[in-house]
Amino acid sequence: MSNSTYRWVIVAAGGLLGCVAIGGMFSLPVFLRPMAAETGWSVTGISSAMTIGFLAMAFTSMMWGALSDRFGPRPVVLTGSVVLSLSLALASRAPSLLAFQILFGALVGGATAAIFAPMMACVTGWFDTHRSLAVSLVSAGMGMAPMTMSPFAAWLISSHDWRTSMLIVAGVVGAIMIPVSLLVRRPPGLQNPQAGAASDNGGPAMSRSEALRSPQFIILIATNFFCCATHSGPIIHTVSYAITCGIPMIAAVTIYSVEGLAGMGGRIVFGLLGDRFGAKRVLVLGLLAQAFGALGYVFARELAAFYAVAAVFGFIYAGTMPLYSVLVRENFPLRMMGTVIGGTAMAGSLGMATGPLAGGLIYDTFASYTWLYVGSWAVGLGAFLIMMTFRPFPAARSVAPVPA
């Protein structure tokens, strides 16, 4: 199979791996209330496992990215797939809240990080033409998790206890991800071991330390932190919030699915708009819209209103996410894609870590989620203002095109 054809296999593999990995981790919001009812653990305590998971993703993202730069993406995503499945299985047997927080948080979060940055770096390396579309399709695959894994988890929890349900999820994760990870290959431009030694852009050479100290990198990670902090709370607590408004569990999970479905469209539309109008311009406008989308949840009480807000918010926040990888690929050398994208993923994971804990504390304190969404709006405005200061490197930093 030619490189020009196989690159779409890489896209499909990346989308499927991301969908299952994110879905495995994001099954926790579906299990949240059944777990609290069955175990007596607090909502804040269980939510903290997601916070720990995002912190684990943050602290391991650059490591996994750097390992994929050095050894290639396949061994990294294969390792992550095995560890993710085992970690979910162990978490389902956790005898205490602390054990669950460690197993689900540290191990599941760390394993999930082995998928995102290496696969995004891999895909950007396989494409020159249609790069935004390719990244958007992988991101859209990841966005399918709320429409696939979350309803699957909700269906399991309706007829099994949470431990059995999570164990079944662990088995499904391993059965899908381990074989698919074997399809992943290095980008053609890096299949020659000596390729990494050359400057793979048209401008001056750039070392990793120069890249990680550059204003461009710092602005990207700061923006991604505030961007993810904006949508983290609304994503994690929407199901729980809807239940507090009197909406049944199965119906509440469909709100999550509507958000995910809209997000798939948003990823592709924003990616194509980024190709046409420039990734930075589209990202800036998306960040501003995201802030007000989060605020919209304050006014949702009935199922129809939740659907409307979820569709708009999901379309916007998911649409912004592929643009970070496009900006990284446009500004940094191919040989360090894993490291740089891992750095932005680290910042995003730290931002995501704020939502579960903040939402749990706000609800436990006020018996209401209103201040969570008001806070998300304010943080979203911060992301918009930071991204306004981004200036691309003067020299284009791109490799020769892969044959179409």
Let me know if residue 306 belongs to a domain: yes
Let me know if residue 394 belongs to a domain: no
Find the mean pLDDT for residues 21-41: 86
Tally Cβ neighbours within 10 Å of residue 301: 12
Find the mean pLDDT for residues 361-381: 85
- Of 385, 262, 358, residue with least CA distance to 317: 262
Q: What is the pLDDT of residues 109-140, one digit of tens each?
A: 999 999 988 998 898 888 877 777 888 888 88
CA dihedral sign, ordered 200, 206, 211, 214: negative
Q: What is the pLDDT of residues 376-389, one digit of tens each?
A: 999 999 999 999 99
Q: What is the pLDDT of residues 71-113, one digit of tens each?
A: 889 999 999 999 999 999 999 998 999 999 999 999 999 999 9
Let me know if residue 396 belongs to a domain: no
Let me know if residue 364 belongs to a domain: yes
The domain in which residue 346 lies consists of: 3-184+210-387
Q: What's residue 222's pLDDT?
A: 94
Q: What's residue 203's pLDDT?
A: 42
Share of the chain above pLDDT 90, in %: 35
Find the mean pLDDT for residues 354-375: 81
The CATH code of the domain that includes 323 is 1.20.1250.20
Rounded Cα–Cα distance for residues 146 and 248 (Å): 17
> Quick check: 296 and 259 in contact, CB under 8 A?
no
Per DSSP, the residues of 342-390 read HHHHHHHHHHHHHHHHHHHHHHHHHS--HHHHHHHHHHHHHHHHHHTT-
The terminus-to-terminus CA distance of the chain in angstroms comes to 13
pLDDT of 400 above 70: no
Quote the pTM value.
0.77
Q: What's residue 277's pLDDT?
A: 86
Q: What's residue 157's pLDDT?
A: 86
Task: Please count the structural domains in the chain.
Answer: 1
Find the mean pLDDT for residues 4-32: 89
Q: What is the pLDDT of residues 226-265, one digit of tens each?
A: 999 999 888 888 888 888 888 887 788 888 778 878 888 8
pLDDT of 66 above 70: yes
Rounded Cα–Cα distance for residues 353 and 49 (Å): 10
Q: What's residue 395's pLDDT?
A: 55
Find the mean pLDDT for residues 327-352: 86
pLDDT of 143 above 80: no
Number of H helices, E strands in the chain: 16, 0
- Of 350, 354, 337, residue with least CA distance to 117: 337
Q: What's residue 200's pLDDT?
A: 52
Q: What's residue 309's pLDDT?
A: 92
Model confidence at 197, pLDDT cuts 50, 70, 90, reads: very low
- Which of 217-231, 303-317, 350-364 shows the lowest mean pLDDT across its residues? 350-364
Let me know if residue 204 belongs to a domain: no
Residue the block writes with tokens 């870590």: 353
pLDDT of 401 above 50: no
More confident residue, 199 or 84: 84
Distance of CA 39 to the CA centre of its chain: 29
Rounded Cα–Cα distance for residues 28 and 162 (Å): 10
pLDDT of 398 above 60: no
Model confidence at 1, pLDDT cuts 50, 70, 90, reads: low
Rounded Cα–Cα distance for residues 11 and 235 (Å): 25
Rounded Cα–Cα distance for residues 388 and 285 (Å): 10
Let me know if residue 397 belongs to a domain: no
Let me know if residue 200 belongs to a domain: no
Look up residue 386 and give its two tokens. 């930071």
